[in-house]
Structures are given as C-alpha cells and as structure tokens.
C-alpha cells in the first residue's frame, strides 16, 4: 500500500544508486539489511548506530568498494551531539543525499505500569533523536535544493494495541512531525517519505523495554512469523525510488490501518479480542 507522491520537484533527483545514503540503526535488523542492498546497488553509504563493533561487522559484509562505506557511531539520545555528527557525515564525501532514519527502540509494558524515566528514554530515542538528526541535516539539503528524508515509522504510528503505549506515541508523533515537514520542504525540493512496516522479523522485540527498563528478551509471535528484514528491504527500495509520501509493507496487519479509517469501532472490537504479545 502506498499513498501519494512528494509533489512536483524543481531540483534534480538522484537515483538511490548514485546517492550518499546515511542510515541510522544500521547495526542490525532493517538498517543492516538496507545497508547491504544499498551497497549492492553501488550507493555510497554511512552506517550509524551506537555499537561500533557491530557497524564494523556490517561494513565487512557489505558489497562493493570498501571506500564507499563509512562509519559514524552515534547515540540518538545524545541530541546535543547530532549537529556535529551531521557535519561528519557531510565531510565524508562533501554531500549527503539521503537520510534514512531507522534507529529506535520498542516497548512491552502496560501503560499504567511503565515508569516515567523509561517512557522518556523511548521518546528521547524514537522521537527527539530522530527529529534532531533531521534538523541537523536539513540546512545542507535546503542549500543544495536537493535531499531525501526517509523515516522508518510503524503501523503503530496509525493504531494502538496493548503493551506498546510509549512506542505507539513516539511513532504517532513522528507521523505528525514529518507530515508537517513534508509540506514545508516542497519549496526546497526536499522529499519526505514515511515508511510504516507491519511485522518484520528482527530483534526489536527482544530488545524492547519493560515497565522498569529491563530488556524484554522474548520474541513476539508477530515478529517470529513475519517476513525477514532482507525481504522487507527488497520490497521497500523500489518504492523509495518513487519517493512516495507514505509506504506500508507487511502482512495482514496492514489492513488494520484501513480498518481504523473505515470503522474505528470495528477495529477496537477486533483488537479487544486479539491475543497481543
């Protein structure tokens, strides 16, 4: 399911294979899979996440010339550092064409029990860190009259289920912020795409935070039976080439987005009876 385009652009768009692509959350899951696909395409890529050793592993497994891959470790919760990280990214090749905001964390906790420091931590990474990094790169895009901001959001940015209140809140917040940004960027020829995955088999559930901030350390049923990150990436990249405003990729769970629009009461009845893990 795709929605709309990013409007008529005056600037010259580069194909993704000719672009410098900066990927956050590149040390595992969707970010890692996309790094491999972009490297196969011939793009120059910048890999970012907290764990330098894992970024080095991903770099070794990428295809193409080693000089086409750079590493910039970063922590999205350290928002004051992100302007400097953007300068580092631009300095790699003198330009960045695409920022792929993929870094984030999930949650498994009842809303009434989640401790406020844990709520703040999730919002800091998923929302504040993501928009701070985007703000850091936007002057570069605006000055060049060219750029592409991609945000890996979630179906949870459109609906809500048990145990994911803060995660859903962070994704709903991303949807609103980037919808507004898209309107503001038309005149600067900068595209904005929101990607809403359904279930994808990654470690995000294993690494989810519980009410007191401990690691959940279990694989949810939805993730365990879902498409792989590699399949997701292969489905996503052709859609990114079209620069659609919104992109939905997943299984039957994608239908919940339509159901909420058509009949919120019916969706609520379905979710009320559903087994959610």
Residues belonging to the active site: 167
CA distance 54 to 124: 22
| E strands in the chain | 2-5, 20-24, 44-48, 69-71, 98-101, 147-152, 190-197, 200-201, 227-228, 244-249
CA atoms within 13 A on the CB side of 8: 1
**Which phi and psi angles does 219 have, rounded to 5°?**
-90, 125
Q: CA-to-CA distance for 157 and 171, rounded, in angstroms?
A: 4
From CA 219, how far away is CA 228, in angstroms rounded? 14
E strands within 33-116? 44-48, 69-71, 98-101
d(CA 12, CA 57): 34
Rounded CA-CA distance 205/35 in Å is 21
Of 137, 170, 135, the C-alpha closest to 156 is: 170
Question: Which tokens go with 251?
Answer: 């299984």
What's the distance, Cα to Cα, between the start and end of the chain in Å? 25
């Amino acid at each position: 399911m795709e929605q709309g385009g990013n409007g008529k652009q005056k600037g010259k768009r580069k194909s993704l294979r000719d672009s410098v692509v900066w990927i956050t959350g590149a040390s595992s899951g969707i970010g890692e899979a996309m790094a491999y696909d972009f490297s196969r395409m011939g793009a120059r890529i910048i890999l970012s996440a907290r764990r330098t050793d894992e970024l080095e592993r991903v770099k070794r497994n990428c295809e193409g010339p080693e000089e086409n891959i750079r590493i910039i470790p970063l922590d999205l919760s350290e928002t004051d550092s992100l302007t400097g990280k953007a300068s580092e990214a631009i300095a790699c090749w003198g330009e960045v064409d695409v920022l792929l905001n993929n870094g984030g964390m999930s949650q498994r906790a009842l809303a009434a029990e989640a401790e406020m420091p844990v709520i703040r931590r999730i919002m800091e990474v998923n929302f504040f860190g993501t928009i701070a990094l985007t703000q850091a790169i936007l002057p570069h895009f605006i000055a060049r009259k060219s750029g592409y901001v991609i945000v890996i959001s979630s179906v949870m940015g459109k609906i809500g289920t048990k145990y994911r209140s803060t995660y859903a809140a962070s994704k709903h917040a991303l949807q609103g912020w980037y919808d507004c940004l898209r309107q503001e960027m038309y005149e600067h020829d900068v595209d904005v795409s929101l990607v809403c995955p359904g279930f994808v088999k990654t470690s995000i559930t294993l690494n989810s935070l519980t009410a007191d901030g401990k690691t959940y350390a279990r694989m949810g049923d939805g993730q365990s039976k879902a498409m792989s990150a590699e399949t997701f990436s292969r489905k996503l990249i052709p859609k990114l080439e079209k620069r659609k405003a919104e992109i939905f990729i997943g299984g039957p769970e994608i239908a919940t987005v339509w159901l909420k629009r058509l009949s919120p009461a019916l969706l609520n009845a379905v979710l009320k009876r559903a087994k959610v893990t």
